[in-house]
Copies of this chain bind each other. A is one copy, B any other.
Amino acid sequence: MVTLKQLAEQLNVSVSTVSKALHNSEEISKDTILRVQELAKHLNYQPNKMALSLKSNRTNTLGVIIPNVLNHFFAKALYAIEMEASKQGYNIITCVSNELLVKEESSLQLLSNGSVDGFIMSIAEETQIKNKTEHISKLLDKGIPMVLFDRVADHLECDKVIIDDFGAAYEATKHLLQEGRQHIVLISDIEELSVGKLRINGYLKALEEEVNYKNEPIVIHIGKEADVEKIVDNLFLSNKKVDGILSIDNISGVIALHKALNKGYKVPEELSIIGFSDDNVLVFTDPKLSTISQHTFDIGKTSVQLMIDRLERKAKTDPVTKTIRTKLVLRGTTK
């Protein structure tokens, strides 16, 4: 890398003159500015990022910690975060917690050595289950900016970007009820997560409100280790009358659809299925899955905006929570 010093030597001026010239300082003569800038361009001079950061105490880099990149929701959120950050002149350092508390702790710890200006993260499953958040509040106490998205913890005082999980599940269940469904089952592999619990409550609330709904709610939990397909198979065996399925995670809706078709159910005539996901995930089923769309791109983009807002405003303001609208998108698996 070429440095100011090298430019200065070549031009027989001082380092500070070069520095000022590159910033088009009023103090420096037109002529010098020209000579300096020409040489700088010619040698492809770039200010050393580390020196700049050390001086300014700003890195223009955000730490992004997601639980799992293989989950399409997080991949898309990451995509959106990278896009928006890059547009605003920020880089992102990405860590994957792999749903593990220790990895989340170590990532936060390691990056809080001045590597990043703030964190955008979604909490690991283990962290949510054990409800341990001291590692996060410790950073918050130090004044390090943080935006939590999707999986948040209510008691943490920081910016948050969420969707209306309760309302979305409520609305979807209402839709199934309006279709006249009487055996609506909820399936989920995320019942341990904050968002999972909210979605289940939305489902329960909708059923509860419907006086004509005669049956008990059925919530099927898919454990992490479980054979998803077997569980879905069993659902159809033990519960032949099922006529509505609400999947509140990213994939079980697709599995349920495949299995149902395989078992000979007519979808959506006899059975409606609604999944929970971003728009364009797994769109190649036939019929196409109706979903609650999460507008993942907006979630990521908004997270970055909140972060940069906070970073670039000097005044401390109270934490903000933004709720991104969801949308029930009816495709081929609902009437």
Contacts and interface: CB of A to CB of B under 8 A. Distances in A.
Interface of A: 1, 46-51, 53-54, 59, 61, 69-70, 72, 75-76, 78-79, 82-83, 86, 91-96, 98, 103, 107, 110-115, 229, 251, 254-255, 258-259, 261-262, 282, 284-286
Contacts of A50: 50, 53-54, 59, 114-115
Given A69-B78, A113-B49, A115-B91, A254 B284 contact: yes
Given A82-B96, A255-B284, 19 more contacts: A47-B113, A48-B113, A49-B113, A49-B114, A49-B115, A50-B53, A51-B114, A70-B72, A70-B76, A83-B96, A91-B93, A91-B115, A92-B94, A229-B284, A251-B284, A258-B284, A259-B286, A261-B286, A282-B282
A92 B91 contact: no
A278 B103 CA distance: 25
A104 B56 CA distance: 27
A112 B46 contact: yes
Given A1-B113, A113-B1, A113-B47, A94 B82 contact: yes
Contacts of A70: 72, 75-76, 79
A70 B258 CA distance: 23
A48 B259 CA distance: 54
Nearest to A53: B50
Candidate in A79, A255, A262 with the most chain B CB atoms within 10 angstroms: A79
A218 to B, nearest CB: 22
A95 B82 contact: yes
Nearest to A232: B284
A2 to B, nearest CB: 10
Contact of A54 (B54, B76, B251, B259): B54
A300 to B, nearest CB: 11
Nearest to A2: B142
A194 to B, nearest CB: 24
Nearest to A282: B282
Given A255-B284, A286-B262, A114 B48 contact: yes
Contacts of A53: 50
Contacts of A94: 78, 82, 92-94
Q: Which 3 interchain pairs have the tightest Cβ spacing?
A: A46-B113, A50-B53, A50-B54
Contacts of A110: 91
Contacts of A95: 82, 86, 91
A91 B79 contact: no
A54 to B, nearest CB: 4
A251 to B, nearest CB: 7
A53 B50 CA distance: 7
